[in-house]
Structure 1
Amino acid sequence: MNHLVRLALASLLLLAPPAPPSVGEASAQEILPPGPVSELVVETATGVYPFMVELADEPRERAQGLMYRREMARDQGMLFDMGVTRPAGFWMQDTYISLDIIFIGEDGLVKSMAERTEPLSEAVLESGEPVRFVLELVAGMARQIGLKRGDRVRHPSIEAVAGR
């Protein structure tokens, strides 16, 4: 009888699912490496500013974004192509760098911004209106270049959607 109890317990342990990973924990296999970069240009009243950005246009790339990164150069960023024009919401979960999040319409014009976001926050930062693209830059860049609602952002992905 004792042998049967041990066998039953061992079987239960083998069938039990593994413990879920803790919040924010991910294996190296799950984290996507930085992708290729391309030039993006922001045009403001104070000038024309080039940035080298990664493009996140696939669901997995959009889901990860800049999570887990510990640093980013001031002239770098990430451009999200949402695939469709719709209200967008972003959060800073597992994102260690404070960012400026710029919400951009399919016409390439800035619609709204969330500046100097709080790292690791789970608060949802909403676009406030439908957008097609979202640009993430190092915190403070929007103010440094004088970025305002209505300024233009140029990138091959935006130009393709805008028909330019």
Structure 2
Amino acid sequence: MLRVMRAFGVARLASAVLALFLCFALQAAAEEKFDTQPLTIVTKDGKSHAFTVELAVTPRQREQGLMNRAEMAEDRGMLFAFGETRQVFMWMKNTYIPLDMLFIAKDGKVRAIKENAEPLSEAIIDSGGPIDYVLELNGGAAKRLGLRPGNRIENELIQSLRKTK
């Protein structure tokens, strides 16, 4: 009987380990991959701030965004491209780092900024009007760099989509 119990315990342990492995494998497979591009923010006084941004251009990439990340380098960000001009609603569900969100029009001009969006919040963050892009940076970047509505975003994706519309 003891042998049967031990064998059953080993089988249960092996099943649990296999289930855990499959869970992690499925989660890893569900993680979207993002291309990157350089992006520059030019302030009204002519100062330039360079970033490398991940591009969220597909519905799945935009849905995942920066969720489940514990940190992001100071010179990094994520650029969401919606493929149309419209009012946008964002949230911070499953996002562990505070973010500044820059709402950007088709012409590359910043229209509005939401500073220090609260991590893990499901509160809706409204663009406040029609826009084409959202740039997410680490919380506090807008204040630290003196970013304001009217600043210009220079980026290959924005330039290429502006020409095709």
CA apart distance, 1:31: 2.3
Q: How does 1:1-164 map to 2 (within 5 A)?
A: 27-33=27-33, 35-44=34-43, 45=45, 47-163=47-163
> What SS does structure 2 have at the residue aligned with 1:55?
strand
Offset of residue 46 of structure 1: 5.8
Distance in 2 of aligned mates of 1:57 and 1:37: 11
> Any conservation in 2 of the 1:103–1:135 contact (CA below 8 Å)?
yes
Q: TM-score, normalised by structure 1?
A: 0.80
- 1:27, distance to aligned residue in structure 2 (A): 2.6
How far off is 1:138 after superposition?
Answer: 0.4
More helix per residue: 1 or 2? Answer: 2
Q: Kindly report the root-mean-square deviation, in angstroms, between the aligned alpha carbons of the 2 structures.
A: 1.5
Give me the identity figure in percent: 43
Give the drift of 1:38. 1.1
* One-letter amino acid of the counterpart of residue 130, structure 1: P
Partner SS, residue 63 of structure 1: helix
Distance (Å, rounded) in 2 between the aligned partners of 1:40 and 1:128: 23
| Alpha-carbon distance in structure 2 between the residues aligned to 1:63 and 1:159 | 23
Taking the aligned partners of 1:153 and 1:91, their CA distance within structure 2 comes to: 22
User: How many angstroms does 1:51 deviate by?
Assistant: 0.2
* Deviation (angstroms), 1:109: 0.3
* 1:154 Cα deviation from its structure 2 partner: 0.8
Partner amino acid for 2:42? E
* Contact 1:47/1:145 (<8 A) preserved: no
Letter in 2 for 1:27: Q
Which stretches in structure 2 are left out of the alignment for 5+ residues?
Answer: 1-25
Number of corresponding residues: 138
> What amino acid does structure 2 have at the position aligned with 1:124?
I
Aligned equivalents of 1:40 and 1:112: distance in 2? 18
SS in 2 for 1:158: helix
Give structure 1 stretches of 5+ with no counterpart: 1-25
Please give the alpha-carbon distance, in whole angstroms, between the structure 1 residues aligned to 2:123 and 2:58. 23
Q: 1:130-152 CA deviation, whole Å, 9 max, x = no partner?
A: 00000000001111111111110
